A and B are shown apart, each in its own frame.
Chain A
């Protein structure tokens, strides 16, 4: 009897160590992603003045619109947190509900961003126009691409939770997903500040 409990204890400890290892590894991955964005920010900082006779940030950024995007994304981070709290309580339906809300807000953000891009390109201000626009589209677009993959991941997680319930594996992966989502939020705050706010005052 006692050996069985002991074995069980070892099993639980091993499981916990494995989860901790995965979360740590994911953190390291996020830091490498952070370096990736840092490089893109550096590129933006170097060539955002190279407008080549085209528009500058001041001419094309519409702050109220970007504020809408920002609110959609920040709120989605909050609801993602609510989903995680529900996951800790193992309340499956609440998790699904809050993930659903997060997903819709993320999708809203993405559609707003695509609309902004479409608007810019249809006015002739595409990434081909100047070094500034190349770096703008690439920096903001890379964030958007991350959001797209995040949404895809979230959709798959929702199917898992719906089919299999909140198993240990699923909860571990939810932790990673929420880390990813919050990380993208932080990156967006930098984009909002450095690209849009500074850009609007012509810095």
Chain B
């Protein structure tokens, strides 16, 4: 009987549900929140609409919106982890042991890192690429729309798996990159690390497929006349970033798979005994992990390039050098991974090589910073909130970057390795570089997608709270790092005198929290006042690139007639030469909706769940489900439909009528 139960349920039992107050609270929160959302949707009878218009859509703009919604919700989840950690470190001194026990603190630290990188930063990045890239290169769609939807749903499945760990079982307490031997079965016997492995594996496959998709999109789907050197800088940065995805993500797939094999079938890749080699894991994970940093930041660089040129009313300074900088970064990003573990003891020559390469990578990055500054120089700058985010980025990124160059010297790195100095450094890069960029992008392209502008003043308040809170939270960590505070610290002695600085850092998080509050408020107020905020021109910021040449919100077919490109800032040149927008219509081929992406991701979720809990029958069955779904999909030889020129014309006229109504309203 027990044998049967084990075959059926694996490691799953009642004792795996949360036992203590805080985890119970978290679990109850997530379950009740989910039930509430489901109830609201049911009450409003929106299921059919959601399924037909959103879940099955192949329109990259809608997929982009879904990515961003998931990422923002995850930002709140990862942010509450951060609040818990900051609170713990501010109070857990001497005889006070704070609000979390050690194991729980480590789980929260691991979850914070995992969620912020994989489900916030990656989600925002793919979301914005989906929204903007096809429009910007004058395309109607991405290269493989079905694959694109499948990538999103795999990302969603990975996200769902991470959050399931709050309710059933526990999460990894082995850090956000789960170094062995700690992450091996012997030292982490619960399901935590397995949750980490399978959620990242599923989301990672989605990212890899997206990478291939956007790579082909940029290289094969550009409007006629748009040679590579006439592409907007954002498209270049996406091309660089997606090349990195194609090279780096297979390494992640392998690394996670090997760790899973160690934990499930008893291989000896990274085990302490049996001929394993734990440092091999650390090398492999950073051979993916360092390029990953540039995967995230390159598209943000692209966003900044667009924003600076638009708000300074000047063409981007040093276009060619920008392109070269991107590709040098792409190349160098694969030659620096060892700087994450100079202390491995690879010898001074090896450390010297990686140290020098790390310092060298600051050069192309510096080229980009100076190009942006020169673009602003003598421009007519309007200090709208996207521009504020950009200038905040320049400050934080430069501070963080200088700290990075400092740590590229191996002897200094030995001192600050694994300390809060490092934590401060990479938060400056990823929050200041990546997150600020995507916040700017959201404000900038919001009217193009939704047809109305975000509230400017509330956005400005959000920015000022964010930047001041951010510096208040992380500058003390630099100092604490020098004082010897290590990362993932859940308790320290009062005699060290660290507490005041930790309290300052905690206060910084409060300020950031107010900033987030303003962002939520900004969204709510803007939706409330959407009719006054309608963007009737389609070009609210006096933009330069093709996405501003179509009306807002961008129609699902993007362009009534595919544009022809002769210049870099095509739309700007057209405006300068007084060229009017022509209304011509042509037949348009578009992908049909398909629910099969959702089916594949649902199966992938169950495969992951089965593997985590050792319910192998479930994993096998659902793998078979994925294959069957793919076969079903391949039997449909007509996945597209044609929107005739007449229908496009009709839709366009309906749009213009609606626009007139808003005009009257305003």
Query: A127 contacts which of B216, B266, B284 (Cβ < 8 Å)?
Result: B266
B310 lies within 8 A of chain A by Cβ? no
A32 within 8 A of B: yes
- Indicate if the CB atoms of B250 and A47 lie closer than 8 Å: no
Which B-chain residue is minimally distant from A54 (CB atoms)?
B275
**A1-27 interface (Cβ within 8 A of B):** 14, 17, 20-22, 24-25
- Please state if B251 and A43 are interface contacts (CB–CB under 8 Å): no
Smallest CB separation, A22 vs chain B (Å): 8
Contact of A25 among B213, B276, B287, B637 (CB under 8 A): B213
Contact of A156 among B266, B287, B631 (CB under 8 A): B631
- Contact stretch, chosen from A34-42, A65-73, A181-189: A34-42
Q: Is B126 an interface residue when CB atoms closer than 8 A count as contact?
A: no
Q: How many A-B residue pairs have CB under 8 A?
A: 106
Pick the residue among A36, A43, A52, A138 that contacts B250 (CB under 8 A): A36
Q: Tell me which residues across on chain B come within 8 A of A138, comparing CB atoms.
A: 258, 261, 267, 269
Is A193 part of the binding interface, using a Cβ–Cβ cutoff of 8 Å? no
Interface contact A36-B268, CB-CB below 8 Å: no
Cα A24 to Cα B219 in complex, Å, equals: 10
Contact B143 A35 (CB under 8 A): no
Q: Are B143 and A21 in contact (CB under 8 A)?
A: yes
- Shortest distance in angstroms between B643's beta carbon and chain A's nearest beta carbon? 14
B483, CB-defined interface residue at 8 Å: no
Confirm or deny: B578 has a beta carbon within 8 angstroms of a beta carbon on chain A: no
In this assembly, does B274 line the interface, its C-beta being within 8 Å of a C-beta of chain A? yes
Please indicate the chain A residues that have their CB under 8 angstroms from the CB of B219 in the complex: 24
Which residue in A14, A32, A47, A52 is a CB contact (below 8 Å) of B280?
A47
Closest to B586 in A: A10
Given A14-B589, A28-B212, A128-B268, A36–B275 Cβ distance below 8 Å?
A: no
A21 touches B266 (CB 8 A): no
Instruction: Give the shortest distance, in Å, between B331 (CB) and chain A (any CB).
Output: 15
Is B23 positioned at the interface, with any CB of A under 8 Å from its CB? no
Assuming the contacts A25-B143, A130-B268, A131-B268, asked whether A43 and B215 have C-beta atoms less than 8 A apart, the reply is no
B379 to chain A, nearest CB (A): 38
A54–B265 CA distance with the chains assembled, in angstroms: 18
What is the CB-to-nearest-CB distance from B587 to chain A, in angstroms, rounded to a whole number?
9
List of A residues within 8 angstroms of B267 by Cβ: 127-128, 134, 137-138
B residues 240-278 in Cβ contact with A at 8 Å: 246-247, 249-251, 253-255, 258, 261, 265-269, 273-277
Taking a contact as CB atoms under 8 Å apart, the answer to whether A131 and B266 are in contact is no
A125 interface contact, C-beta 8 A: no
- Please report which residues of chain A, range 144-173, place their CB below 8 angstroms from some CB of chain B when the two chains form the complex: 152, 156, 167, 169, 173
Nearest CB of A to B438, in Å? 25
The number of chain B residues touching the other chain, given as a range, is: 35 or more
| Most A C-beta atoms less than 10 A away, residue of B251, B267, B276 | B267
Q: Which residues of A contact B275 (CB under 8 A)?
A: 47, 50-52, 54, 130-132, 134
Contact B637–A167 (Cβ < 8 Å): yes
Q: Is B268 touching A35 in the complex (CB atoms < 8 A)? A: no
Cα distance, A51 to B215, chains bound together (Å): 42
A interface size (C-beta, 8 A): 38
CA distance A63 to B474 in the complex (A): 60
- Chain A neighbourhood of B269, CB < 8 A: 43, 47, 131, 134-135, 138
**Does B216 contact A134, Cβ atoms closer than 8 Å?**
no
In the complex, what residues of B have CB within 8 A of residue A42's CB?
284
Query: Contact between B143 and A43 (Cβ–Cβ < 8 Å)?
Result: no
Specify which chain B residues have a CB less than 8 angstroms from the CB of A134 in the assembled complex.
261, 267-269, 275-276
Interchain CA distance A131-B216 in the complex, whole Å:
38
Whether a CB of chain B sits under 8 angstroms from the CB of A31 is: yes
Complex CA gap A202/B275 in Å reads: 18
Write the chain B residue with the least CB distance to A52: B275
Please report the C-alpha to C-alpha distance between residue A156 and residue B627 in the assembled complex, in whole angstroms: 11
A71 to chain B: closest CB distance in Å? Answer: 29
Q: Would A50 and B276 count as touching, CB distance under 8 A?
A: yes
Expressed in whole angstroms, the Cα–Cα distance for A22 and B143 within the complex equals: 8
Neighbour of A32 across the interface among B144, B246, B255, B258, CB < 8 A: B246
Does B320 count as interface, using CB distance less than 8 angstroms? no
Q: Which residues of A contact B249 (CB under 8 A)?
A: 32
Which partner residue on chain A sits nearest B266 by CB separation? A128
From A21, A22, A35, give the contact of B251 (CB < 8 A). Answer: A35
B655 at the interface (CB under 8 A from A): no
Chain A residues in 8 Å Cβ range of B143: 21, 25
Q: Indicate if A46 sits at the interface (CB-CB under 8 A).
A: yes
Q: Which of B334-365 contact A (CB under 8 A)?
A: none
Contact B280 A43 (CB under 8 A): yes
| B600 interface hit (Cβ, 8 Å) | no
Contacts of B268 in A (CB 8 A): 50, 52, 127-128, 130-131, 134
Please, how many angstroms separate the alpha-carbon atoms of A31 and B250 in the complex? 10
Assess whether B212 is in contact with A47, with CB atoms less than 8 Å apart. Answer: no
* Residues in chain A near residue B637, CB distance under 8 A: 167, 169
A160 to B211, CA, bound (A): 30
B413 to chain A, nearest CB (A): 24
CA distance A51 to B136 in the complex (A): 55
Asked if B666 is an interface residue, CB under 8 A from chain A, the answer is no
CB neighbours (8 Å) of A156 from chain B are 631, 634
Minimum distance in angstroms from B304 CB to a CB of chain A? 27
Q: What residue in chain A is nearest B288 (Cβ atoms)?
A: A39
What residue of chain A has the Cβ atom nearest to residue B253's Cβ?
A36
Partner of B277, one of A17, A47, A167: A47
Q: A32-B212, A40-B254 are in contact. List 6 more A-B contacts (CB 8 A).
A: A21-B216, A21-B220, A32-B211, A43-B254, A127-B268, A138-B269
Can you offer 11 A-B residue contacts whose CB atoms are under 8 A?
A25-B144, A29-B212, A32-B246, A35-B250, A35-B251, A36-B250, A46-B277, A52-B273, A127-B267, A138-B258, A152-B627
Q: Which residues of A contact B (CB under 8 A)?
A: 14, 17, 20-22, 24-25, 28-29, 31-33, 35-36, 39-40, 42-43, 46-47, 50-52, 54, 127-128, 130-132, 134-135, 137-138, 152, 156, 167, 169, 173
- 7 closest Cβ pairs, A-B complex: A131-B275, A50-B275, A52-B275, A134-B267, A36-B250, A35-B250, A39-B254
